[in-house]
Structure 1
Amino acid sequence: MNRPNSEINSRIGIPASSSSLPAWLPYAILLGAAIVLLINWERIPDRWVTHWGLRGEPDGWTSKSPLGVFMPIGLGIIICAFLDLLARNIASKKTTAEGFDLSPEAVSVMAAATANIVRLTSIAVAGLMAVMAVALPLYQPRSPGLVVGTAFAFIGVAMAAGLRGLSRAHRELKEKGLLKGAEGWNGFTYNNPRDPRLWVPKPLGYGHTINFGHRRAWPLFLLILSIPLMVVIVIIAFVALGNQ
């Protein structure tokens, strides 16, 4: 009979990080925002800005209606529900991808830590949607700075906390000698010069990742990074030309 992640983690002396984050927390955040909106319904204006263009000028508005007021909360519920299903699926994994042969204990701990990142992301999304739902109609910011700043803050903190937990789980597994069969994997990236593959399946989760031990890994990684960088440069140039 398979043991729950928390029981296995406790038995080997590593806390189950995902179990410390209740699945209902993102929904509680969104519910709190909905209650604030209902209490302050009379303060909500008939129309408010919800989008700004590249030049920082308003180009999108929403009118006062149940759909217009609660749209961010509804969108947040949908995204959080998807992330919750993804976290549950990752946390329930019992085996790793082809080419990795981790012990059941190691799979359990790393699956819990990986699912924890998804749950933290869900909490960040809920926080962002809650701030947007409340701040846009009730405080009516004059620029997108609030939305952009909040997004970077929430997502940045969530990723930093999640990766810290993943790194801790990997380190403690390594100290206990439970990472045999996953040489080159540090819990987040893969670096194994003895593996001839450039792209390798992620040990847990979905998709593939780059083998940074491959001689063509860094040129490929820099090429991938250059694509969004070029997009940002083009947008900045477009805005600069438009302001002339």
Structure 2
Amino acid sequence: MLQFAYTCSVPFRFFMRDERFKLITIESDFGAGKQGAAQGPGALINELKSRNFNFIELNNPIQIHPLPSSEDGITPFGKHIAENRKLQETICTAIETILSNNSIPFILSGDHSNANGTISGVKNYFSDKRIGVIWIDAHADIHSPYTTPSGNMHGMPLAALLGINNVLVQKNNPKEISKMEWENLKQVGSKKIEPKILPSDLVYIALRSTEEEEENIIAKQNIKAFRPEEIASLGIVQVL
């Protein structure tokens, strides 16, 4: 596995506080196949406190918790999709509110499905602007209920943001409730903007583990993807 490390010799305590940043924690992991990511924000905050990190206020974050979900198994090609959609709406509203107060959201989140809500919130606020996304991940997260091999929503946020179904390589037959909630997920936010981002405004860094259906979208939409081999050749500084 290719790993990158950046070492800063300046202790955290010497970074000046920037009051524009507002911390938001999203303690959710039901979009993933395994539980645990919901504990990430709290663990990160505790670690930052132990290192005297005071660049932003850590003690009073805006906390977002999902409602309990009992629908697992009902929508196998979009597990917890209804609850996930409600959560993304909540996240989107919170991000938009922070931006409208002339603050900058600093987000500590659980599983990757929450990227739909965070990026949708940015787009809803900057509705007349193009939004660029740098996706640093081994996975493409660009499946839909029509192509997902697992049904886990953490593999679908970018497809929702791009407004893509990818039915040309469809292998699943989602239930009507999944189809309806998927359409709602693509229009998260009060302004119902779809798509939130354009393929030309998305770039992958360190992409290495994908399915055929995802590669189909990446190639068809001409989405830029830096694979580990290319990063190793060019160097991460050149890539960035």
| Greater Rg over alpha carbons, structure | 1
TM-score, normalised by the number of residues in structure 1? 0.29
TM-score, normalised by the number of residues in structure 2? 0.29
